[in-house]
Amino acid sequence: MKRFLMGLACAYAAAASAGDAAVDKVLECMRGNIPQVLRVQEFEINSVDRTGGERLLRGRLYAMRESELMRAMVKIKSPPDLNNAAYLIREGKDRDDMFVFLPALNRVRRIMGGNADSPLFGTDLSYSDVKQIQNSFSGGVAKLEKPDTVENRPVNVVALTPTPGGDTHYTLIRGWIDQKTCIPLKIEFYDGANVRKRLSTPAAAVKPYGNAWYTSEARMDDLQAKTHTTLKITGFTKPDKLSERYFNASSFYTAE
């Protein structure tokens, strides 16, 4: 909401590349876009169902790296029924910890591996989608495919085969990475031989900040369900640090 959002602007963890220096170079360039600390002032997520019905979410994103491990928290502010709902992901060396707080239940729930493909706040993004987008094609072996173009821009094509038995059911994840900015302009998530979901970013939505780049808009299409979700980031800052309460499982949902 990545790279969402969660993401969308938070990717940094490396994928295994079977010693392929060319893949490592692309992934390293992607990680170069990510600041140590990030606060998205406001994002909008608009989910459209197969009948055309829409649901708009607004919120904030907080993220930081700690010992090269990602911490990211999303706080929802609207609609009213999800006001103050929150989602936390803490990357670990052996496993990731994911938590969600829903005001209606008034408690924190841990997201287990079996629920990783559940929709995030009713959008077309699942918990495992967010993890893959955030982690720059981690949890498997990546390889570089034939170069391509997207919107007349040269791109590197990276294909990830997820580790069997991991949190995702996808059999292949393929990304089209802009050669100039190292931002993914398209990511396809495969279920068997079929593309189940597609994440796309308009080239015009890739914006500079300092010597790096970020995505201000993206869209996730669920090709099987015939639904889609769009994300817009309206502004962010790079503070020197963020309080630990944003990333603590017992307090993240209280942080503002």
CATH number of 21-250: 2.50.20.10
149: Cβ contacts below 8 Å, ≥ 6 apart: 155
Residue 83 main-chain phi, psi, to 5 deg = -55, 125
Task: Say whether 41 sits in a helix, a strand or coil.
Answer: strand
Rounded to whole angstroms, how far apart are CA atoms 1 and 154? 24
Q: Is the dihedral of CA 242, 75, 168, 109 positive or negative?
A: positive
Reference 10, options 18, 20, 2, 19; nearest CA is 2
Reference 142, options 175, 119, 116; nearest CA is 175
Helix residue spans in 3-142 (DSSP H): 21-31, 127-134
Rounded to whole angstroms, how far apart are CA atoms 225 and 60? 27
- Tell me the pLDDT of the chain (256 aa) as tens digits: 434 433 433 333 345 555 578 888 988 888 788 777 778 778 898 989 999 999 898 988 888 877 777 788 889 999 998 899 998 988 777 777 889 999 999 999 997 755 556 666 667 666 666 655 555 455 578 899 999 999 999 999 999 887 776 656 788 989 999 999 999 999 998 999 999 989 999 999 999 888 888 889 999 899 999 999 998 987 777 777 888 999 999 999 998 7
